């Protein structure tokens, strides 16, 4: 259990660090592709984002790089797809009292944009047997800002808790990039520097290192401080932002 939590937490920190530094998120996801596919037993993981009032293909994790091209060809080639229609399609298949949809048909997800004939053809080319779709909410857990789809090309025992773990990881990735006012996603976080006004110059130097994924020991070496001094500064930073951990600090700074 502890090993699982450490792995998940390390991925959360990596996501946040990647966002804040403006690194290539697609490259990071590709690097860890096997981790996500193995953990969920899915063959394809795709993220659909809200782009104002329409659906946008976000990130696609797969072994053979075929599905994203098929999706563009059959679904998103020429026409836009209403976000509200997509939400309605997904919610029509939500399991009772559970926030996920289980279907075997892409037509059920993209009804209104793709014909049943083309949906069947697309599913055959992608060799899909099962699709689990889960919503990703904003920081208030009220509004859907994305949907993550786990797609299976073989009949396997689908473990919903494992899918939820990865869904929560992707919430960490998408929430800070979402602009609620404009209903769009940024390619990197733009708000961190604006929210460091509470801190002293030394605290700013330390918190930027923390947000880039550095450990307290590494920060102490880089800034030529004792580790106890770093910890004292971090206590002050936590107190000013009313948080108790680095993860809470990441989320607090990204939620403004």
User: DSSP labels for 125-193?
Assistant: HHT--EEEEEEEE-TTS-SEEEEEEEEESS-----HHHHHHHHHHHHHHHGGGEETTTTEE-SS---TG
pLDDT in tens, 42-86: 999 999 998 888 898 888 999 877 898 898 888 887 678 889 999
- Share the mean pLDDT of the chain: 82
Q: Rounded to 5 degrees, what are φ and ψ at 62?
A: -160, 165
Euclidean distance between CA atoms 142 and 62, whole angstroms: 30
Please, what are the domains in the chain? 2-185 (3.30.450.40), 193-254 (1.10.10.10)
Whether residue 138 contacts residue 163, with contact meaning beta carbons closer than 8 Å, is answered with: no
Q: Is 90 exceeded by the pLDDT of residue 149?
A: yes
Alpha helices in 42-152 (DSSP H): 67-74, 83-91, 106-110, 116-126
Question: Does residue 172 or residue 228 have the better pLDDT?
Answer: 228
Euclidean distance between CA atoms 101 and 149, whole angstroms: 9
pLDDT in tens, 23-44: 667 777 888 899 999 999 999 9
- Quote the percentage of the chain above a pLDDT of 70: 86
Least confident of 24-28, 96-100, 132-136, 245-249: 96-100
Confidence of residue 91 (pLDDT cuts 50, 70, 90): confident
């Amino acid at each position: 259990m502890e090993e699982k939590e450490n792995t998940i937490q390390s991925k959360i920190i990596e996501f946040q660090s990647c966002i804040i530094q403006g690194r290539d998120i697609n490259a990071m996801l590709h690097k860890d592709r096997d981790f996500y596919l193995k953990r969920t037993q899915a063959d394809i993981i795709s993220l659909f984002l809200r782009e104002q009032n329409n659906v946008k293909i976000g990130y696609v994790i797969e072994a053979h790089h075929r599905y994203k091209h098929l999706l563009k060809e059959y679904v998103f080639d020429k026409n836009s797809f209403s976000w509200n229609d997509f939400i309605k399609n997904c919610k029509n298949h939500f399991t009772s009292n559970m926030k996920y949809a289980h279907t075997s048909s892409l037509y059920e997800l993209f009804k209104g944009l793709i014909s049943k004939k083309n949906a069947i053809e697309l599913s055959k080319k992608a060799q899909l047997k099962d699709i689990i779709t889960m919503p990703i909410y904003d920081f208030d857990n009220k509004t859907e800002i994305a949907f993550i789809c786990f797609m299976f090309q073989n009949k396997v025992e689908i473990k919903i808790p494992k899918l939820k773990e990865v869904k929560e990881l992707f919430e960490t990735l998408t929430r800070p990039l979402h602009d609620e006012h404009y209903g769009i996603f940024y390619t990197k976080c733009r708000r961190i520097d604006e929210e460091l006004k509470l801190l002293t110059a030394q605290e700013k130097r330390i918190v930027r290192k923390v947000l880039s994924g550095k450990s307290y020991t590494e920060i102490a070496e880089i800034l030529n401080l004792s580790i106890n001094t770093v910890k004292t500064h971090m206590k002050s930073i936590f107190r000013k932002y009313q948080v108790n951990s680095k993860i809470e600090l990441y989320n607090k700074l990204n939620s403004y």
